Amino acid sequence: MEMLSVSASTIAFSEQDHQLEKLEFALALAVSEGCHDKAHHLRSCIEALGDHGEEPGT
């Protein structure tokens, strides 16, 4: 059986992408529900994490 080698930076990048995707989903919900304060907070979190300019899952 062959083991796949994955670097720690690849795992960290993947985790960051996953966290970004969750924040973007929460933002979409907050906007659709009219929660402006929550949406503002989530946008700040997304900016702090760093938006790669890509759609989630691409």
pLDDT tens-digit readout, 18-29: 899 999 999 999
Tell whether pTM > 0.85. Answer: no
Assign 55 a pLDDT band (cuts: 50, 70, 90).
Answer: low
Q: Specify whether the CB–CB gap between 23 and 42 falls below 8 A.
A: yes
Torsion angle of C-alpha atoms 8, 14, 20, 24, degrees rounded to 10: -170
Q: Name the nearest CA neighbour of 55 among 25, 11, 33, 13.
A: 25
| pLDDT computed for residue 14 by the predictor | 79
Q: What pLDDT, on a 0 to 100 scale, did the predictor assign at position 10?
A: 61
Asked if the model's pLDDT at residue 36 lies above 60, the reply is yes
Which pLDDT value is given to residue 16? Answer: 85
